[in-house]
Structure 1
């Protein structure tokens, strides 16, 4: 129980007044004295006017610097867009060249040479310098014909002729329908008169 008494005594001890720091602050703080506050305000106004004047002088220079930066950026963006367009055109031309090469090499063995490039990855036949690997194309075409023999050209080189089916169309049966609208109308009128 004596411990409780000590803690109670500590809590009930009177605190020292804090007037000393406030007095020191009043000496250094100009806002407590009206005359000192006016002087401080005038000093701050003079500084602000000086900075406004300097900012007014520098504003046109800052605007010109921003315009130059924007002009340089737009020129850079324009050049970047041109470069991108040229690269895309070069890539498209390269893809057409590879497609043509595949079609030319496939003409000898494929029934339809256009089928060959549909089954191949054309980008795989272009090296880093942009050269086309014709040996790689030949090997891939041979391997494609082994995997999909139905794409190969038929053994006989004669063109396929369509075989007509005489049962199709109006010439194969006796129920021939009239072709002209007048004949159709005359047939309908005849049937209507006979039905009376």
Structure 2
């Protein structure tokens, strides 16, 4: 067989000198390295099994250590409830200040998110978690004063739309009695 690795030139027992490792005559004991076709494979299997067993033991040990550390961390964190409460209170207060900023900036800035980006939220929170609404409004007013391009453009409704001929008039003219009178009045002819 040409494809058989055992029969390739240089691999057969006839190509190895007598007494060389890997030949049946090289060693008189079976199962040792270099003794027959099963000796090399047996060593490889034993090495693989040993490596697998060592890796499984290391994995088991690592999982046990991780579980121990998780329990240790949980026990440590549980005793510091005051710090945890303070952290939650601070986060909640900052959320309230952000909401107050958005509300205060809604009518004054084109994009209320600009107030969140440009103002220091932590400085606007009062002591004990209270929000100083006057300080928030003053901060938004100062932002509009410092950066007027962020402010909502003031528009005069009469100027922006012009006179479109609708709505109440200053002088109330009597309504024409007939459609023909309306046409005469529109074209300026008396008749």
* TM-score of the pair, normalised by structure 2: 0.40
* TM-score of the pair, normalised by structure 1: 0.39
Larger radius of gyration: 1
